[in-house]
Chains A and B, each alone.
Chain A
Amino acid sequence: MKLKKVKRRSTFSEIWRNYRKSFSGMLGLVIIVGILATIFVGNFIYDYDTDVIGQNVAERKQAPSAEHFFGTDEFGRDILTRIIWGGRYSLAIGLAAVLMSSIIGVIFGSFAGYYGGVVETIIMRFADIFQAIPAIMLGICFVTAFGQSIFMLTIAVSIGAIPAVTRVTRASVMTVKDMEYVEAARAIGANNIVIIFRHVLMNAISPVIVQATLRIGGAIVGIAALSFIGLGITAPTPEWGAMLSSARQYLRGYDYMALYPGLAIMVTVLGFNLIGDGVRDSMDPKLKK
């Protein structure tokens, strides 16, 4: 019992030890923690009705200054405030979308990989079909058909990634499922569901986690993209892509409006990409000694 406990902790701490060695990984972690802290603090400083969506015609379209670091938009709202407030949507939906696609993909992928045969054929043929439709178009149609809620947006962003997760999980499960300890578990009478989710997945999950971390950035861009073409989060809610979309009308003369929301997206995505690189390097068995 004692031995097991020690071993478990060491798997995690070994990954963390590797991760700490990665400069880009730590840099990404600092960026994302910084962004999360800013959003958290902003929640207490700003009031949604007055600061975030409250219009102030007297101060509209002001260039960046000491009073408004990032300037104000066409309704006189402080752009910095709106960017900080908008971060919660991008991060929450981005993470939720990746989580959703990962869970669904892992379930399908592990069933396909573990059972093989007809189950595998059916699941993988469905994956083929869904993967054939370009992800962004799938998202666009989904939102148009089922309405523009935050929940639908999450589904629209995650749905395109499910086939890829399914494939990765299946491949990974297939390498593990014939190992002796799995056979042993079967021999003592464990049922298949327990074997898949407790024994097989435990050893097959790392490529899935690596892929998922690398996909967060893409999901955040996906949300911004849908909002940018007017199908995501709608005005007056301050979402980064939606802010860019409304800034498009004022590019001439007020280009700062289009500058900062995009910068916010880029820094966030960069942070997650760096974390993804770090996670990959620390979990990749090729690099393990």
Chain B
Amino acid sequence: MYRYFLKRLFWLIPVMLGVSIFIFIIMDFFPGDAADTVLGEAASQEQLEAYREVHGLNDPVLVRYARYMFNLLKGDMGISYVTGRDVFKTYMQRLPNTLLLAFTGMGLAIIVSIPIGIITALKRGTVLDATLMILTLLGLSMPLFWLGLLLIIGFSLNLGWFPTGGAGSLKHLVLPALTLAVAKMAMLTRTTRSSMLEVLNADYIRTARAKGVSKKKATLKHALRNALIPIITVIGIELGSSLGGSVLCETVFSWPGVGRLIMDSISKRDIPMVTGCLILTTMIVASLLLLVDIIYAFVDPRIKAQYQRKS
């Protein structure tokens, strides 16, 4: 089994190589380059050309890519055109904020959704079930950035409970985390419900009940455990998407995370920063998805057995 995971881990290397080549090529199409950004509008054509020549900007894409990757292997992702600061360090300064937001949002969603999902599955067809399912449908259809605006209008402008944006205290975290959580709640509640429904009708649950296991125990121990696989998948995917899609939530709430960093760098045409951010974010999301795959095997012995057969 470990051999399988090692294989998956090594597979990340060619994928990341592909990703970096692709990102590099797209960046090549970005309007403006380092010379424009660093020297500004006042620079003459000759100055721009001289700068490009000195910094190797006139070399073909592949040459620049090779140079970039060579530096990357030494742990150097370059410095920002705009601030002159180290790309990797800047990214790592912002990352904790994004992680904090993503994990708080996900945690909130898990705490709310799994119990609701179980209850709606048990009370299938009742008014409660229907109401909650309609609510989740609305949650799924709501654009995240609009929900953010609504929360700002309601809770910060009208009630004055929370700040409209920024970071620094627990109060700053509430609204953005809630915004992220709502969409995930909808998804997770629906997954939990359908996954539980599939399991609750299984023969082994009836057997458990027949031999005298209480309904509560049969639901929580026997059924939930087996319903967990799709739930974990969704949690992993949603966590990945909230890291990758942090741009929107962070824009609405001026949250100083990675998403905002990428947006700022894009608007300033800060190419080394954008390239670095994209590569690092992609790497984190890809590793997260790999982690989910590994967790499967621990939760589900069937998958474990499958892997053992494979390797």
Contact = CB atoms under 8 A, between A and B. Distances in A.
Interface of A: 125-126, 128-130, 132-137, 140-142, 144-146, 217, 221, 224-225, 228-230, 241, 244, 247-248, 251-252, 255, 258-259, 261-262, 265-267, 269-270, 273-274
Contacts of A224: 143, 145
Contacts of B26: 141-142, 145
Interface string B13-40: 0111011001100110111000000000
A136 B282 CA distance: 12
A129 B281 CA distance: 13
Interface stretch (B66-74, B149-157, B211-219): B149-157
- Rank and list the top 8 A-B pairs by shortest CB-CB distance, nearest first: A134-B244, A262-B146, A129-B18, A145-B29, A270-B141, A269-B141, A255-B153, A258-B149
A144 B18 CA distance: 20
Interface in B154-203: 157, 164
Given A140-B266, A146-B29, A225-B248, A134 B143 contact: no
Contact of A228 (B15, B19, B248, B262): B248
Nearest to A268: B141
A142 B26 CA distance: 7
B274 interface: yes
Given A144-B30, A251-B153, A132 B143 contact: no
Contacts of B27: 141, 145
B23 A266 contact: no
Q: Is the interface of B mostly helix, strand, loop or mixed?
A: helix
A224 to B, nearest CB: 6
B141 A134 contact: no
Contacts, number: 125
Contacts of A230: 267
Contacts of B140: 217, 273
Contact of A244 (B31, B138, B149): B149
B245 A133 contact: no
Interface in B231-268: 240-241, 243-245, 247-248, 251-252, 262-263, 266-267
Contact of B278 (A137, A217, A255): A137
Contact of B251 (A132, A229, A262, A265): A229
A132 B288 CA distance: 11
B153 A137 contact: no
A69 B285 CA distance: 44
B303 interface: no
B295 interface: no
Contact of B150 (A126, A140, A262): A262
Contacts of B63: none
Nearest to A133: B282
Nearest to B263: A229
A134 B157 contact: no
B245 A125 contact: no
Contact of B247 (A126, A140, A270, A274): A140
